[in-house]
């Protein structure tokens, strides 16, 4: 389970990911507050945002979604490191604006990597 792979994702193995959809929607609605919390505790408190509360809620959302993905497909470490940084590099640090692009670019990047891993040593599959 330490290697991520899409080969084992069959009907009955990915339904846990449906739990992440409401969490994704919640993260979208909290995106402005999470962006402000990212600017630091002093700025967040001056703008009237509960720094510790939003930080805790954001970390809980990310932790639950990450654990659901790991249970479903295994560890895919490059996806969470590369894609959000590339999208933020091109579009800026506005999380609400970037969240959809991060999800779409991450899905596309994962699809391309999965296709390449299936074709490199066909008929076997390299783990992601």
Q: What is the pLDDT of residues 3-62, one digit of tens each?
A: 666 666 666 666 777 888 899 899 889 999 999 998 999 999 999 999 999 999 999 998
> Which tops the pLDDT comparison, 56 or 2?
56
Domain annotation covers residue 30: yes
Chain mean pLDDT for the chain: 84
Domain that holds residue 68: 15-120
Domain annotation covers residue 127: no
Please give the tally of structural domains in the chain: 1
User: What percent of the chain is predicted at pLDDT more than 70?
Assistant: 84
Q: Left (φ > 0), alpha (ψ -120 to 50) or beta: where does 126 sit?
A: beta
Domain annotation covers residue 5: no
């Amino acid at each position: 389970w330490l290697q991520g792979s899409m080969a084992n994702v069959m009907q009955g193995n990915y339904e846990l990911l449906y739990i992440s959809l409401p969490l994704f929607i919640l993260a979208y609605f909290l995106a402005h507050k999470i962006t402000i919390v990212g600017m630091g505790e002093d700025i967040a408190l001056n703008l009237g945002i509960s720094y510790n509360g939003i930080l805790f809620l954001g970390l809980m959302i990310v932790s639950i979604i990450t654990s659901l993905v790991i249970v479903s497909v295994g560890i895919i470490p490059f996806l969470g490191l590369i894609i959000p940084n590339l999208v933020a590099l091109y579009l800026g640090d506005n999380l609400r604006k970037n969240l959809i692009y991060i999800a779409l670019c991450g899905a596309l990047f994962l699809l391309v990597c999965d296709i390449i891993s299936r074709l490199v040593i066909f008929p076997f599959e390299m783990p992601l």
